[in-house]
Structure 1
Amino acid sequence: MRILHTADLHLGRAFNNMSLEDDHRAILDQILECIILQRVDVLVIAGDIFDRAVPPASAVRQFNTFLTQVANQTNAAVVMIAGNHDSGDRIGSMAIMTDTNRALIRGPLNVEEAPLIVNDSHGPVAISALPFSHEYAARECFGNESINTPEDVVTAQITSARRHLPDGARWVVVAHAFVAGAKGSEGERPLARVGGLETVRPEVFDGAHYVALGHLHRPQSIRTEHIRYAGAPLAFGFDEAGEPKSMALVDLWPDGTTTISTIPFVPPRTIRIVRGKLADLVLAEPSSDFIKVILTDEKPLIDPMKRLREVFSNACGLIYARDEQISTVNATLPPLARINDPIQVVGDFLEHVRNERLADAELALVDSAFDDLQKLEDRA
């Protein structure tokens, strides 16, 4: 069975107040083309379909047009879940009156995590779609007051999903989470409360033949190839400049093993950082890419951005090279938002002292200690 794994479309998002609607249209066209050319059996969208809970009408129309094309021009089944940027109710409403033999669309939590069953010549494949949920909603759904972390939420979903697996079926899990060992970027919104433990251990997904993840924007596998983030199709920050974007084409074999290949996205505009003297940069080839400029001129120049935008129409950041060192020093100081996060402060301090981050077990211990202190303070 052939699965196309995508995630984190973030339709409706802008880059530095510049619309990405045309960029997203090109990306959706490339996904549709891949489904057709690669004869994909199942399209997976692992959350963050939209960039916010109430997306602009143009983004909703754009996605509806895309789904209509998938339905009319291909035979692929569709599995998609709400991410932390989405409204679960909005995504869930798309499931009303859909063909349940061909689509599994999950918005709000459900105590019964029934999979979509897709058959090929080698038997059934069960696809469990686990939408993102905050802890308070999961406690209510599963009737379990001990759910306190994102891992507790996913564990409850996985436990329910296992009960619905047909005997002998290959199992695919779709989830939206921060799995321990993965590398994040500037564009992701935290999934846990301030000071809480955000990550989910990979062992939670034991038994699944492929885990299609969303939330992190860099394409990457976690420990083993079968636990994978598709990544976002577009870069949303200059920390992602130059990083390849792709969708994952997954061949699921009769014995449950997988072969994964990546299909590169070709966005109409990329994110780049250029460096040099103003006199040289204004002679460069004109570009509509999103550009951050690092000027190496020693003296300040009068309105250099105006001249740069004559060449780089979407230039949206400028810094002098001489100021980079100051920025680097300032970056080592904890910003105010992080000072209010004691877990982050402890982690930063230990990384500075021993040159490595807190391990998951250490994070859990520190988190537990701060919870105990908070309870003592509440009683006082």
Structure 2
Amino acid sequence: MKLLHTADLHLGRLFHGRDLIDDHEAVLGQIAAAIDAHRPDVLIIAGDIYDRAAPPASAVSQFNGFIRRIFNETDTAIVMIAGNHDSGDRIGSMAALADNRRALVRGPLAREEMPLILRDEHGPVAFSGLPFGNEFAARECFVDTAIAAPADVLAAQLAAARRHVPESARWVVVAHAFVTGADPCESERKLVVGGVETAPSDLFDGAHYVALGHLHRPQTVGSGRVRYSGSPLAFGFDEADTPKSMVLVDLKADGDVETTLLPFAPLHRLRILRGALADLLAAAETSPDFVKVILTDPARQIDPMSRIREAYENAVVLSYARDETRLETKSANLALGASADPLHVIAEFLARVHPDAQTAAEQRLVKAGLAALAHRESAA
């Protein structure tokens, strides 16, 4: 069975004030062209369809037109879930209009995660769609007050899904999560405020392919079976050199997978230019790229952005190298607290000051304390 995996469309997003509707139209057209060319059995969209819970009407119309095209002009089934940027209710409402024989649309959390079951010549394939949900919604849904972090939410969802997967079926999981060990980007919204937002990849043990959304860099985590497609467009200049792609997955009879990356060709690439203002103006060239300019001039220049935009019409960010250096130094000093898993930080600290390893009871106590802190911060 062939699958086409993408995620993190973020329809309706602006890039430094620039409307991306044409960029998104190009991306959706390339997804449709890939479906025409490769004839996948299933299109997977692993969350963050929209950039916010109440997207602009133009983004809703754009996505509706794309979905109609796939349903009306192809035989490809669709599996899509809500991400942390989406309104679960908005995404879930699409399920009422979908053909449940060739579509699985998951918005809010559900206590019983019923799969879409498709068949090929080798037998059944079960698709479980696990939408994003916070800990508080999950506690109510699963009637479990012990749910305290995204990993607990995902574990509850997977348990609810496993119960309904036929024993002989190959299993594909679609989820929107931050898996431990993955490489994030600056443009992603955190899943929790404080606390631990990552989930271990071994939660997915038993699945033959895991189609992930949330992180914008294409990558695998733990094994080739657990994969982020990444976002079709770059939303931060830290992604300037990151190739963007969708994933064509060939799911074999025995559950093995072969993957092929199908590159996106964006209307606007991201480029970082560094140099003295006079040199950059002299070297100007016509380009559709979105540009970040880092000036190396030792002194502040007069109205530099206006002058830059006369030469580079899509320049959107300007800074000075000396300021960037200060920011990098500050970020390096804060890197541990900003990006490390708090559970790991605490475990490493205790290992330094205490000769014995953490007990299971101590680990539960630390986890509960972090969850309580996250709850207080979110309620403040």
Tell me the SS of whatever aligns to 1:108: coil
RMSD: 2.7
SS at 2:26 equivalent:
helix
1:250 corresponds to: 249
- Cα deviation for residue 363 of structure 1 reads 8.7
* Secondary structure, counterpart of 1:275 in structure 2: strand
Determine the structure 2 residue equivalent to 1:80: 80
Partner of 2:44: 44
Q: Secondary structure, in 3 states, of the residue corresponding to 1:71?
A: helix
Deviations 1:213-270 (A, max 9, x none): 0000100000210100011111111111111111111000000000011011110001
SS in 1 for 2:95: coil
> Match of 1:5, SS?
strand
Residue by residue over 1:186-211, the C-alpha shift from the partner in whole angstroms, topping out at 9 and shown as x without a partner, is 1111112x331111111111100000
Structure-1-length-normalised TM-score: 0.89
- 1:357 aligned partner: none
Query: Deviation of residue 369 (structure 1)?
Result: 5.1
Cα 1:372–1:328 change in 2 (3 A) is: closer
User: Is the Cα–Cα contact under 8 Å of residues 195 and 374 in structure 2 kept in the other structure?
Assistant: no
Measured after TM superposition, the shift of residue 145 of structure 1 is 1.5
- The answer as to whether partners of 1:195 and 1:344 remain within 8 angstroms in 2 is no
Alpha-carbon distance change, 91 to 287 in structure 1, aligned in 2, over 3 angstroms: same
The aligned residue for residue 327 of structure 2 is 327
Rounded to whole Å, the distance in 1 between the matches of 2:73 and 2:45 is: 18
CA distance in 1, matches of 2:205, 2:374: 34
Q: Is the 8 A contact 1:47 1:176 kept in 2?
A: yes
- In 1: Cα distance, 2:367 partner to 2:141 partner: 25
Offset at residue 372 of structure 1 (A): 8.2
Task: Give the whole-Å Cα distance in 2 for the aligned partners of 1:197 and 1:84.
Answer: 16
Within a 5 Å distance, the mapping from 1:274-353 to structure 2 comes to: 274-282=273-281, 283-334=283-334, 343=342
Q: Secondary structure at the match of 2:4?
A: strand
CA contact (8 A) 2:288 2:314 kept: yes
Structure 2 CA distance for partners of 1:63 and 1:275, relative to 1, 3 Å: same
1:266-288 CA-partner distances (Å, limit 9, x unpaired): 10001110112222322321123
1:88-103 matches, cutoff 5 A: 88-103=88-103
The whole-number CA distance in structure 1 between the counterparts of 2:122 and 2:222 is 28
- Which deviates more from structure 2 when the two are superposed, residues 283-292 or residues 55-64? 283-292
Report the Cα distance in structure 2 between the residues aligned to 1:105 and 1:14, rounded to whole angstroms: 26
Structure 1: 5+ residue stretches without partners: 354-360, 376-380
Q: CA distance change for structure 1 residues 175 and 31 in 2, over 3 Å: closer, same or farther?
A: same
Alignment check: 8 A CA contact 1:125 1:171 kept = yes
Cα separation, 1, equivalents of 2:166 and 2:324: 57
Given that 1:197 and 1:363 are in contact with CA atoms closer than 8 Å, whether structure 2 keeps it comes out as: no
Residues 32-89 of structure 1, C-alpha deviation per residue, up to 9 Å, x if partnerless? 0001101111000000000000000000000000001111121100000000100000
Q: Distance in 1 between matches of 2:151 and 2:138?
A: 11
| 1:109, distance to aligned residue in structure 2 (A) | 1.2
Q: Is the 8 A contact 1:343 1:367 kept in 2?
A: no
Q: Post-superposition shift, 1:322?
A: 3.3
Q: Which residue of 1 aligns with 2:29?
A: 29
Secondary structure at 1:94's aligned position in 2? helix
Query: How has the CA–CA distance of structure 1 residues 68 and 197 changed in structure 2, closer, same or farther, with 3 Å as cutoff?
Result: same
Give SS of 2:288's match.
Answer: strand
How far, CA to CA, are the matches of 1:259 and 1:211 in structure 2? 13
Percent of residue pairs bearing the same amino acid type: 57
CA 1:15–1:142: 2 relative to 1, 3 Å: same
The residue number in structure 2 matching 1:71 is 71
What's the counterpart of residue 177 of structure 1?
A: 177
Query: In the alignment, which residue of structure 2 is the partner of 1:229?
Result: 228
Q: Is residue 220–residue 228 contact of structure 1 (8 Å, CA) maintained in 2?
A: yes
* In structure 2, distance between residues paired with 1:326 and 1:160: 48
Q: Distance in 1 between matches of 2:241 and 2:374?
A: 43
The match for 2:203 is 204
Q: Distance in 2 between matches of 1:142 and 1:247?
A: 33
The CA distance in 2 between the partners of 1:12 and 1:304, in whole Å, is 30
Q: What is the alpha-carbon distance in structure 2 between the residues aligned to residue 342 and residue 128 of structure 1?
A: 28
Between the aligned partners of 1:374 and 1:63, the Cα distance in structure 2 is: 34
Aligned-partner SS, 2:24: helix
Q: Contact 1:248/1:261 (CA < 8 Å) preserved in 2? A: yes
Question: How far did 1:326 drift?
Answer: 2.2
In 2, the alpha carbon distance for the partners of 1:16 and 1:363 equals 42
